[in-house]
Structure 1
Amino acid sequence: MQVDFYQLTLRPLERALPQIAEKVLAGGTRLLVVAADARQRAALDRMLWTYAPESFLPHGQAGGGDEAAQPVLIAEHPVAANGATMIALVDGEWRDAALGFDRAFHFFDDGSIAAARDAWKALAEREGVERRYWKQTERGWEQAA
């Protein structure tokens, strides 16, 4: 199980998440996007339709019907109603349920850096968990740990 920590410093989640989602879908897998706040989920739903004029990222929200058919599903809880094997935690909050997926993307900003550090340390003690830390640079994402 792999957990990728993405610290948002130069670009916001609205620019980083679509890149990850596109790569997940290109690899033939599905993604669950988790955020506790309903307003954030609604904003992500709108953003995934409009983030780039030339792009289309098929997705839906949990509770909207046809969850099982959604390649990308936005949800409040880490329950993969779409059969996702990868999860993106986008509100800065780590959830141990993410360890039930093949891969987790944990996005956090300066406001949630202390919690991300705690999660990083706690995951170091878990057997079978590979952690990676990605930082933003002017050239894009670079693996730092």
Structure 2
Amino acid sequence: MRVDFYQLSRDPVERVVAMLARKVLQAGERLLVVSGDASQRELLSKELWRAGSEEFLAHGEASDPQPDKQPILLSGEAEAANGARMILLADGQWRENALGFDRALLLFGASETEAARALWRQLDGKEDVAREIHKQDEQGRWRAGG
């Protein structure tokens, strides 16, 4: 399993979620987007609806009918009713059951930096977990390292 840490510095979380969700769909995968904040999930949903003319980012809330049909599922819980093997933690909060997915994407801002560092150290040495940090430059490009 792999954990990708995305350090938010330039673009707002909703824009980064839309960018990552598009990549997941292009790879033919499903995605679970988790945030414990209902208002943040609503904001994320609006951004996914208007994520650009490239393609529609089909999604729904876990509480909506037939969540299993959604390629992108927004939820307050880290449970993939849509069968996703990839989880995106949009609220900066780690959930231990994210380790049960093939890949976890943790987005974090300045206020979650210390918690992200502690998680990085906690995952260090786990044989079955690969880690990678992604940072955004001034031009908006994401760079991987670490």
Question: What TM-score, normalized to structure 2?
Answer: 0.95
Report if aligned partners of 2:59, 2:70 keep a CA contact under 8 Å in 1. Answer: yes
Alignment-mate amino acid for residue 144 of structure 2: Q
CA distance in 2, matches of 1:23, 1:39: 24
Report if aligned partners of 2:10, 2:140 keep a CA contact under 8 Å in 1. Answer: no
* Structure 2 unpaired stretches of 5+: none
CA distance in 2, matches of 1:87, 1:53: 25
RMSD, matched Cα: 1.1
**Cross-structure match for 1:52:** 52
* CA deviation string 1:11-64 (max 9, x = no partner): 111221111111111111100000001111111111110132443100000111
Paired residue total: 145
CA distance in 1, matches of 2:45, 2:79: 17
CA distance in 1, matches of 2:54, 2:28: 20
**Cross-structure match for 2:72:** 72
1:125 Cα offset (Å): 3.5
- Secondary structure at the aligned position of 2:41 is classed as helix
* Structure 1 unpaired stretches of 5+: none
CA distance in 2, matches of 1:24, 1:139: 19
- Secondary structure at the aligned position of 1:5 is classed as strand
Question: What TM-score, normalized to structure 1?
Answer: 0.95
CA distance in 2, matches of 1:55, 1:13: 19
Report if aligned partners of 2:11, 2:140 keep a CA contact under 8 Å in 1. Answer: no
CA distance in 2, matches of 1:119, 1:97: 14
